[in-house]
Structure 1
């Protein structure tokens, strides 16, 4: 399955945000500039969030002029912001070609966690997910992915909000590993000391699993893994998540058992609780058998209904029984708190719409 469709035409003006640290170093070399200039430019773009090369005061005027001839600085534009009663903030962000995605800030005490999108829509077609009903339009570039952070931080600053964005979860619109080339570059921007400077342990990437690219992601060592599982057997997973079906569940488990992890790290397995679909005691037993021998922890998620989804969240009693059984088998199990459901900003609810459709 291949969906690496370019988001820009060949004649488009280049956005310098689409250069990761390696690309920025290559650009400086091609311009005959010393290597440290790449770090200076990256710091201005990402840490400084500048919108014009003229603001780069420690960069020579000659280099600023050269950059201005070939590049522009374009961060995703906040077209709409909604705030939930629980403090969650959902943004509609517009790209240079007017395509739109949603990104979410989730408050967590002294900081925000930002949920980032990697595609306009999603090709996976998960039946319980609002994004899956959008279909797939195109991949985001690395600058459009990482630029969501800069735009959100600028919004917080303009609002006088003192909380920082301290954690990133790549769990928004899209399947990240189907856009791995650009997602990997965005992760390099997140990690680079002169760019956004996030530590690996503060970045989580959620994927249904894409054969080959899952292990490429593991070998990159750029973020922590979370696997969208949601079913204890291949038949049900194929029904709920048709786009994930080509990565047969047994093969996925085999690969996860050899996934590169540090000594104390575990893979997060995500499991949305759907009433009468995947929440029975026998399915809890099947899940235990499936995950036996895997170095993992389990996140149970209350289902957040989207438009016309046709599913309901499991009862609190069913969720508690499911959780208790998994714990009795020595699994670490957490029930993730739903945030932003009243503004359709919770897991599975992101579905970008223009303001005229709202």
Structure 2
């Protein structure tokens, strides 16, 4: 049985250099290939005109540059765009672009579904199928950039956030090369601080990310106590708040002006109280950070409800009075199910979690 062709989008520049040298070529071929793929959106080896005909033929025989099929594109009334991308015969994932006045943010997925089962998240409720490959992760940026006519001179995308479907740090070995390509001058050339990895709190991987990549970190906290967080984020049973915040302190310890973004989904009558806001401000007092409040977005089958605007405003005022930068994430793309916590995609759920969503015991209201 012959080995399948290797996808060049699976490799960052250092990995590509090794691949080319192992293939009997010079290291500079790696940067040439990256310029074609990420600079010119060219996937046909025969169009790599600075490669000899012999090398082009050898490349086509051993490698490919496959990107997922674009199944659909939906645009919200507020300009948000959601793309459905086909990963394989049974699976599709969603990628979202959010345009604003001075920035354009691309929300990228890292898994088909999510294995963590956070109880307020549509993706978690749909279950889990598999990790995405590096090629499938970076191809989301490639497809979006091509659709948007993004270039180094026309930067439609200014920020990339690993906040789509899945837990990025649970797929660390494939996410890391994708982060490198995003920030590489011969890739997409995004500034380090404009690439953000969002995690529900995988402590060892947070420490590894700190050692491996200079990127921004967002932490999905959602509760100021272990008791409540364990009900919202089951991962908290393994890595409690104290261990998570210790890793966060290390992450920003030697970085000038670095701040961690703590994401807090505000759920009506669950975690939206004034005392919970005050507890949160006490919890984070020694960590350079900002707080991003996310009003809960309902999805079919959920037992939770949105908070009142009054409660969200009160929560924000308490955080700001304690000296924090605190923002409320504006709901974007909810009319096309592209808002935070609404991404679900289309995939085969190996966990059978989606079949059990209506059987879950309601969360105790505090």
TM more than 0.5? yes
Residue 255 of structure 2: which of 257, 262, 285 is its match?
262
Does the 8 Å contact 2:149/2:156 carry over to 1? no
C-alpha offsets along residues 285-311 of structure 1, whole Å, 9 cap, x if unaligned? 211221121111100111111111111
- Are residues 218 and 163 of structure 1, via their aligned partners in 2, closer, same or farther at CA, if it must alter by over 3 Å? closer
Deviation at 1:10, TM superposition (A): 9.3
Does the 8 Å contact 1:142/1:182 carry over to 2? yes
| Aligned pairs, number | 343
Residue 330 of structure 1 is matched in structure 2 by 323
Aligned pair 1:353/2:346, yes or no? Answer: yes
Could you say what secondary structure the match of 2:98 adopts?
A: strand
Deviation at 1:57, TM superposition (A): 0.8
Residue 163 of structure 2 is matched in structure 1 by 171
C-alpha offsets along residues 28-56 of structure 1, whole Å, 9 cap, x if unaligned? 11122222111001111122211210111
- Are residues 98 and 64 of structure 1, via their aligned partners in 2, closer, same or farther at CA, if it must alter by over 3 Å? farther
Aligned pair 1:200/2:192, yes or no? Answer: yes
Give the distance between the partners of 2:236 and 2:125, measured in 1 at CA: 15
Q: 5+ unaligned residues in a row in structure 1: which ranges? A: 1-8
Deviation at 1:120, TM superposition (A): 0.3
Residue 289 of structure 1 is matched in structure 2 by 282
Bigger shift: residues 286-295 or 167-176:
286-295
Give the distance between the partners of 2:236 and 2:127, measured in 1 at CA: 15
Could you say what secondary structure the match of 1:113 adopts?
A: strand
Residue 276 of structure 1: which of 269, 282, 304 is its match?
269
Does the 8 Å contact 1:124/1:244 carry over to 2? no
Residue 210 of structure 1 is matched in structure 2 by 202
Deviation at 1:105, TM superposition (A): 0.6
Deviation at 1:163, TM superposition (A): 6.6
Deviation at 1:245, TM superposition (A): 2.8
Aligned pair 1:15/2:10, yes or no? Answer: no
Residue 175 of structure 2: which of 172, 175, 183 is its match?
183
Give the distance between the partners of 1:269 and 1:77, measured in 2 at CA: 34
Residue 221 of structure 2 is matched in structure 1 by 229
Q: CA RMSD in A?
A: 1.8
Which structure 2 residues correspond to residues 82-231 of structure 1 after superposition, within 5 A? Answer: 82-96=74-88, 98-157=90-149, 164-231=156-223
Residue 242 of structure 1: which of 206, 230, 234 is its match?
234
Does the 8 Å contact 1:191/1:199 carry over to 2? yes
Give the distance between the partners of 1:247 and 1:132, measured in 2 at CA: 18
Deviation at 1:211, TM superposition (A): 2.2
Deviation at 1:353, TM superposition (A): 2.4
Deviation at 1:272, TM superposition (A): 0.7
Does the 8 Å contact 1:146/1:186 carry over to 2? yes
Which structure 2 residues correspond to residues 60-79 of structure 1 after superposition, within 5 A? Answer: 60-79=52-71
C-alpha offsets along residues 299-325 of structure 1, whole Å, 9 cap, x if unaligned? 011111111111111111111111111
Q: TM-score, normalised by structure 2?
A: 0.90
Does the 8 Å contact 1:88/1:340 carry over to 2? yes
Residue 41 of structure 2: which of 49, 54, 60 is its match?
49
Aligned pair 1:37/2:23, yes or no? Answer: no
Deviation at 1:12, TM superposition (A): 3.5
Does the 8 Å contact 1:122/1:135 carry over to 2? yes
Give the distance between the partners of 1:59 and 1:271, measured in 2 at CA: 50
Deviation at 1:331, TM superposition (A): 1.2
- Are residues 163 and 187 of structure 1, via their aligned partners in 2, closer, same or farther at CA, if it must alter by over 3 Å? closer
Does the 8 Å contact 1:187/1:222 carry over to 2? no
Give the distance between the partners of 2:214 and 2:37, measured in 1 at CA: 21
